[in-house]
């Protein structure tokens, strides 16, 4: 029986991964915040784990005050640094570290595979630094650049569903901004695919057919049979989230070229079939 250790195991994706891999016969160990700050205990866990999955990080959709930006940084970079230090200091190392990043690393000027052009903003620089830290691990490393993960039991979809069910949904800003997403089931299967095949690379975890915020809005309206006539203006989001509003108004267009080239088959390829499966 193989062991998988997960940081950020209590979040939406972490909980889903834990349940998924336990059903696959893996032993799953959660690495909580206290363990991350306990060198000996962290070393004990990573030395007895076959796979380490690094998901830890504060929620990106929030008001980006100076203090919150510091939290976004420390919850990702410092956590990853502690994890990498533990891996590098033990004799028996895990076979693979899968660390998280985001498609927010790219600019919004084109559709990008994994070799896309990076942006020069805070989120992109955070992702770049996050990936650099993970690559310091003296073992096999894969990076998963998440799109927006859509699932019934948490994350962005659960939050956006209520206003749409009430007929109060609508586009955000112009609605033209790209919306790269992935169904939670495809994300879980992508982890299994990479682990089963011991793959070492950087992967976009996004559906093959990205959409826009308008495309998402129309798909939700159609699935729920509700009107979508209440747009959220950009200035209102900036008042709420300050610089963090960029996450909602300035999307990236990313495609999972490497996974597709390796033969991974997505169950949910476009936004309509994704939304239909979740409502």
Q: Express each pLDDT in 60-112 by its tens digit.
A: 888 889 999 999 999 999 999 999 999 999 999 999 999 999 999 999 999 99
Does residue 29 contact residue 36 with C-beta atoms inside 8 Å?
no
Q: What are 29-64's pLDDT values in tens digits?
A: 999 999 998 999 999 999 999 999 999 999 888 888
Cβ distance 148 to 13 under 8 Å?
A: no
Contacts of 42 (CB under 8 A, 6+ apart): 31, 35, 36, 82, 83, 86
* 5 contacts 45 by C-beta, under 8 angstroms: yes
> CA-to-CA distance for 146 and 102, rounded, in angstroms?
4
Instruction: For residue 169, give both structure tokens.
Output: 């949904």
Task: Give the largest CA-CA distance in the chain.
Answer: 59
In this prediction, residue 158 has a pLDDT band, given cuts at 50, 70 and 90, of: confident
pLDDT digits (tens, 9 = 90+) for 109-136: 999 999 999 999 999 999 999 999 999 9
- Kindly report the average pLDDT of the chain as a whole number: 93
Within 24-90, strands assigned E span 27-31, 51-54
Share of the chain above pLDDT 70, in %: 100
Instruction: Give ∠ CA 246-209-12 in degrees, rounded to 5.
Output: 60
pLDDT of residue 270: 96
Radius of gyration (Cα) for the chain, nearest Å? 19
Q: How confident is the model at residue 247 (pLDDT cuts 50, 70, 90)?
A: confident
For residue 265, the enclosing domain spans 3-278
At residue 180, the pLDDT reads 94
Looking up residue 127, the CATH number of its domain turns out to be 3.40.50.720
Domain count, the chain: 1
């Amino acid at each position: 029986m193989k062991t998988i250790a997960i940081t950020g195991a209590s979040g939406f994706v972490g909980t889903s991964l834990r349940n998924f891999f336990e059903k696959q016969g893996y032993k799953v160990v959660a690495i909580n915040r206290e363990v991350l700050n306990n060198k000996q205990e962290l070393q004990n866990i990573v030395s007895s784990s076959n796979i380490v999955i690094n998901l830890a990080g504060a929620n990106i959709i929030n008001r980006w005050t100076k203090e919150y930006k510091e939290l976004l940084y420390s919850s990702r970079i410092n956590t990853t640094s502690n994890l990498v230090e533990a891996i590098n200091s033990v004799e028996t190392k895990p076979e693979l570290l899968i660390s998280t990043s985001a498609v927010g690393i790219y600019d919004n000027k084109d559709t990008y595979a994994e070799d896309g052009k990076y942006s020069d903003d805070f989120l992109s620089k955070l992702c770049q630094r996050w990936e650099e830290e993970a690559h310091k691990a003296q073992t096999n490393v894969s990076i998963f650049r998440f799109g927006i993960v859509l699932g019934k039991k948490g994350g962005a979809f659960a939050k956006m569903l209520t206003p749409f069910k009430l007929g109060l949904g609508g586009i955000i800003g112009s609605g033209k901004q790209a919306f790269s997403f992935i169904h939670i089931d495809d994300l879980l299967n992508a982890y299994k695919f990479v682990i089963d095949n011991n793959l070492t690379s950087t992967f976009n975890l996004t559906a093959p057919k990205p959409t826009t915020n308008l495309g998402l809005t129309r798909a939700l309206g159609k699935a729920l049979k509700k009107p979508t006539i209440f747009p959220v203006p950009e200035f209102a989001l900036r008042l709420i989230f300050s610089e963090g509003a960029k996450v909602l108004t300035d999307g990236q267009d990313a495609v999972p070229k490497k996974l597709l080239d390796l033969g991974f088959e997505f169950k949910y390829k476009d936004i309509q079939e994704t939304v239909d499966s979740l409502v």
